[in-house]
Amino acid sequence: LRDNLMHRAVAASHDRRQRAGAAMAVRAMADAVRRDHVQRERTAFQHWTAYLAQRRQFRAAAQAISRAVSRLHLWQQANAFHLLQCQASSIAPPETESAQLTAARLLSAALGRAAWRLGVV
């Protein structure tokens, strides 16, 4: 299932005309991550966000993190919080300043929600 979702996400991201399809694939991937075991969840999430960062799709990577955080159960969030921090710091900022600010805000909001739900903040 996860491989099929990843394939669909990759295919959709290659075609700019299929932005809605890419967004749907991101949501599907977040759902798959939520349902998976913790170790497989980490592996899938790392591959997905690394792929997005490599393709310089920073907004999509930030949104994937945000969606995953909002859909994870509380016990899964505790396991994923450190991973989310690592992934957020590994996503290099985009070249344009406005895109950089947008990505930074999205990442900050995603991590903020995770911290709030875990009682860190």
Q: How far apart are the first and last CA of the chain?
A: 35
pLDDT above 60: residue 37: no
The answer to whether the predicted template modeling score (pTM) of the entire model surpasses 0.85 is no
In single-letter form, the type of residue at position 110 comes to A
The pLDDT assigned to 85 comes to 54
- pLDDT 10s digits, 75-111: 455 555 555 555 555 554 545 556 555 666 666 666 6
pLDDT, mean over the chain: 58
Please tell me which residue, 100 or 50, carries the higher pLDDT value. 50
Rama region for 56: left / alpha / beta (φ>0; ψ in -120 to 50; rest): left
Nearest by Cα to 55 from 3, 26, 14, 96 = 14
Residues 6+ apart with CB under 8 A from 77: 69, 114, 117, 118
